[in-house]
A and B are shown apart, each in its own frame.
Chain A
Amino acid sequence: DTAVSQTPKYLVTQMGNDKSIKCEQNLGHDTMYWYKQDSKKFLKIMFSYNNKELIINETVPNRFSPKSPDKAHLNLHINSLELGDSAVYFCASSVQAGSNEKLFFGSGTQLSVL
C-alpha cells in the first residue's frame, strides 16, 4: 500500500485556471507538508500542517491555499494559475513536527501551465 499518495500525477492546464492537488497518508502521521521542486531540481517548502493546524507558511502567493480536512489529508488549491507555477509538487508527512523527523514523500504531481 502506498504510504503517501497524491493525485493527479500529471496536471496540464491553461493560465488563469484553478486547480487542486490531493494528498493522503495512511501512516498515521501528525504532520504533513507541501514542497515545490523547480526545473533545476531545487526543493523548497511551501506549507506544513500539524494535526490540521498550519505551522509553516513560507512566502507563497495567496493564490496557493492548503486545506487539511483531517490529519491524514492535505490538499493544495491553486487559483489563477501562472506560467511560473509549473513545477513538480511533492506532498510529504512525518510522525511529528520535529527537527530530527524523517519525511516520507509522495511521488509528486507534475504541473504544467500553458
Chain B
Amino acid sequence: GNSVTQMEGPVTLSEEAFLTINCTYTATGYPSLFWYVQYPGEGLQLLLKATKADDKGSNKGFEATYRKETTSFHLEKGSVQVSDSAVYFCALGGTSYGKLTFGQGTILTVHP
C-alpha cells in the first residue's frame, strides 16, 4: 500500500538558516504529493503541492520538487524565520476519493 516516510525530528535551526525536510514515498501509480503545515493549536493548512513528476510546488518561500526517479518530495526553504516554527507533514494523494496518506510529521523550531 501507499506510505510516506519523513525525516525524524525535531529539527532546530537559527533564523535565516537553510531548511531541508526529507520526504520519500511508496505508491502505485502517479499520486499527487503535498506538504501541509500545522501551527501550534491549529489545524493543518496546505503549504504546497505537485501533481506530476518534475513539478515544483512553491509557497511562502518553501519549495518541493516531485522526483519520480527517487520517489522523493523534499521540502526546502532558503532562509527560515521564527514564524516558520510548526509541524510539517508530507502527504500522498490516493488514487481515488481524496484519501491522503500522511508522513509522521517533522517538528521544526526556529530560534532568533
Q: Interface on A for B, CB 8 Å cutoff?
A: 4, 31, 33, 40-45, 48, 50, 55-56, 90, 92, 94, 96-103, 105-108
Contacts and interface: CB of A to CB of B under 8 A. Distances in A.
Q: Could you say which interface size class chain B belongs to?
A: 20 to 34
B96 interface: yes
B102 A103 contact: no
Contacts, number: 69
A105 B43 contact: yes
Interface stretch (B12-20, B67-75, B76-84, B86-94): B86-94
A97 B102 CA distance: 17
Q: Which of B51, B87, B94, B97 has the most CB of A within 10 A?
A: B97
A99 B43 contact: no
A99 B104 contact: no
A42 B102 contact: yes
Nearest to B96: A99
B98 A41 contact: no
